[in-house]
Amino acid sequence: MKFNREKLVERLLLVVALSAMAALALIAVFIFKEGVPFLLEVGPRQFLLSSDWRPQEGRFGVYPMIVASLWVTLGAMLIGAPLGVAGAIFLNEFVPRWVMRIIKPTIELLAGIPSVVFGFIGVVVLAPLIRAHLGGPGLSVLAGAVVLGIMVLPTVISISTDAISAVPNSYREGALALGATRWQAVHMVVLKAARSGIVASLILAMGRAVGETMAVIMVAGNAVKVPHSVLDSVRTLTANIALEMGYATGKHREALFATGVVLFVVVMILNSIATAAVRRRFGTKGTRK
Amino acid sequence: MFDSRKQWVVVVVCAATVAWVGCGPKRAAITVAGSTAFQPFAEKLAEELMAKRPDLAITVQGGGSAVGIQSALSGAAQIGMADLVELPPEAKSLTSVVVARDGVAMVVHPSNPVQNLTTDQIRGIFNGRIRNWKEVGGRDEPITVVSREAGSGTRTSFEQIIGGIRLTPDAVVQDSNGTIRETVANDARAIGYLTHGVVNEKVKTLKVDGKECTTEAILAGEYKLVRPVFFLFKGAPQGAVKEFLDYVLSAEGQEIIKRNGLIPAK
C-alpha cells in the first residue's frame, strides 16, 4: 500500500513536470510552424536584412527591429548590470545584516511593479527630460534603455545577493587574515567565488530586457528605422509583434510570427554568447553548483 | 479517501452548476465586434437597449476594423464594425450600413503657433518631405511625426483621404488614440491625428484647408477628414441583429452617438 502510493506520487509528479515542459515545446513548435514557411517564402536574407517594413505593400524587412532590440538591450545592461551588481555587493558586504533584511525584500517588491507603470513614468517624466536637454523626439533608445535598466535591477540584485551571501565566510576571513583590505577581499575572493550566480543574474536580466514589450512600446517611439544615435526613436522586435498583432491578417500575420521566430533565435544567440563568454573567462568550474 | 462530507460538497457543486446553466431566461444573444474607435459607443448603445429589452444579450468586442470584417465574414460575430473610407474587396459580400461618421482631427501641442495646414502640407509632413515647422509657418524646430500602427482603421482612413502618403520612417508610432494624444500633449514639436471623439484640451486641433474640425463643419460636409463607421452583416439583418441596428439608427441612438462625441449618420 505504502509502496504503491509512493509510486503513484512519483508518476504524478513526472506527468506534471512533463506537461510544463510540453507546454514550452508546443509554444516553440507553434511559433516555428507559423513563422518559418513565411520566412522561407520571402527569403531569410530579404526578411532579415531589408529595412523596409510596409506590411500593407507586402514589404517585410525586420533589420531595423533586430538592431533596435540589440541596442536597447545593450543599453539596459550597461545601466542595470553595474548598478545591480554594485548594489548586491554593498548590501552583502558593507551594511549590517538587519539593513539588508529590510532593503532586499523592498527591492524584490520592485519586481512586482507592472511594466505599464514603468512605461508610464518613462513617458511622462523621462521622455520630456531627454527631449528638453538632449534633443530628439524623447521617445528613444535612451529612454528605453534607462527604463529597462531600472526594470532589470530587482532581478540582478536579488540573484546576485543570493550568490554573494552563499560564499562561505571562511573565504572572507582567510583573505582578511592574509592582510587583504575589505575591498580586496570582496573583489579578489568573494566576487570570484560568486561569479556563476552573478552571471546567471545578468543572463536572466538580459532575457527580461529583450523580451519586455509594454514599457518599450510606450517609451521607445516605435519608428521603423535603423537608429543612428541613442536619441533616435526605434521599434524592437517585441514591440513590432504587439503593435500590429491586433490588426494583422494573412501575410502580415505570418510576418509577425516570423518576427517571433527571429526574436526566439536572437534570445538563443545572446544567451549562448553570454554562457560561452563566462566559460572562456572563468573555465567551466563554478564554485556554486 | 472520500469521506461523506467531501461527497456532499461535490454533489452541491454539481447541482449548482446544472441549475445555473439550465435555468435562466431564454435570451437572443448577438456579438458585435471590430473597430476600437466605435467600440465604446457600441457598448453604450447596447447597454441602453438591453436596459429596455432584458430578453436581448448583446456582447461588444474590439479588435479593430480588420477583425470586424473577418469576424462578420466567418460568422464569429453577427455584426462587424469597421471605420474605413473604402471597405476592402473581401467585405464586398457583406451588407454594410453606415451608422455614424467620425472626423479625424489633426492635433498639435497647445503651444504650437500653427493654426492651419493644407492637405498638401499634411502629405509633405507625413511623407517626411517637410521636416521643420518653419516651412509651414511655425517655429524653427524639427517636426516629430506621430502616427498609428499599420492596419489601424484611423491610419488607413487618414492615408486614403489625404492620398499619396508613404509614412516617413522617422515617424513615432503609437498604438491607440489615447497614446497619440498623450504623446502630442507632451511634445511641443509633435503632430498627430486621432478620432474627433477623444480630442480634449491637452492638445490643439488644427484647421485643415481652412476648415475647423467640428461637428457642424462635418455635418455640413466642409471638413475633409471624415470617415464612415460601418455595421457589416452576412445577408439582410433580422431578429436581434435588426433590432440593434434599428435602435442605433433611431433618433435616440443617434442622439447618444452625438452626445458622446461622434457624428450622426444623417
Residues of A in contact with B172 (CB under 8 A): 137, 139, 221-223, 233
The CATH code of the domain at B29-102+228-264 is 3.40.190.10
**Residues B131-170 pLDDT 10s:** 999 999 889 999 999 999 887 888 888 998 998 888 888 8
Q: Does B170 contact A225 at a Cβ distance shorter than 8 Å?
A: yes
What are A56-96's pLDDT values in tens digits? 788 899 999 999 999 999 999 999 999 999 999 999 888 88
Assigned C-alpha cell, A275: 554562457
Alpha helices (runs of H) in chain B, residue ranges in sequence order: 4-22, 39-52, 65-74, 119-127, 153-162, 177-186, 215-219, 240-249, 251-259
Q: Kind of pairing, strands B204-205 and B95-108?
A: antiparallel
How many domains does chain A fold into?
1
Distance from the A81 Cα atom to the nearest Cα atom in chain B, whole angstroms: 29
The one-letter amino acid at B13 = V
Question: How many Å lie between the alpha carbon of A225 and the closest alpha carbon of chain B?
Answer: 6
CB contact under 8 A, B171 and A252: no
pLDDT value at B19 more than 60: no
Confidence of residue A29 (pLDDT cuts 50, 70, 90): very high
Contact predicate B225/B22, CB 8 Å = no
**In this predicted model, what pLDDT tens digit does every residue of A176-193 receive, in sequence order?**
999 999 999 998 999 999
Inter-chain residue contact A248 with B66, CB threshold 8 Å: yes
A252 — pLDDT class (breaks 50, 70, 90): confident
> Is A21 contained in some domain?
no
Q: Which of A128, A139, A247 sits opposite B152 (nearest CB)?
A: A247
What is the pLDDT, as a whole number, of residue B24?
Answer: 46
Q: Is residue A257 part of a domain?
A: yes
Global pTM reads 0.78
End-to-end CA distance of chain B: 70
- Of the candidate CATH numbers 3.30.2320.50, 2.40.420.20, 3.20.20.370, 3.40.190.10, the domain formed by B103-219 belongs to 3.40.190.10
CB B96, CB B245: distance < 8 Å: no
The Cα of B220 is separated from the nearest Cα of chain A by a number of Å equal to: 32
Could you report the predicted ipTM of this complex, rounded to two decimals?
0.75
Q: Is residue A138 part of a domain?
A: yes
Where in chain B are all domains bearing CATH 3.40.190.10?
29-102+228-264, 103-219
CATH code, domain carrying A278? 1.10.3720.10
Q: How confident is the model at residue B3 (pLDDT cuts 50, 70, 90)?
A: low
pLDDT at A275 (0 to 100) = 79
> By residue range, what is the domain housing residue A226?
27-285
| Residue B65 clears pLDDT 60, i.e. is over it | yes
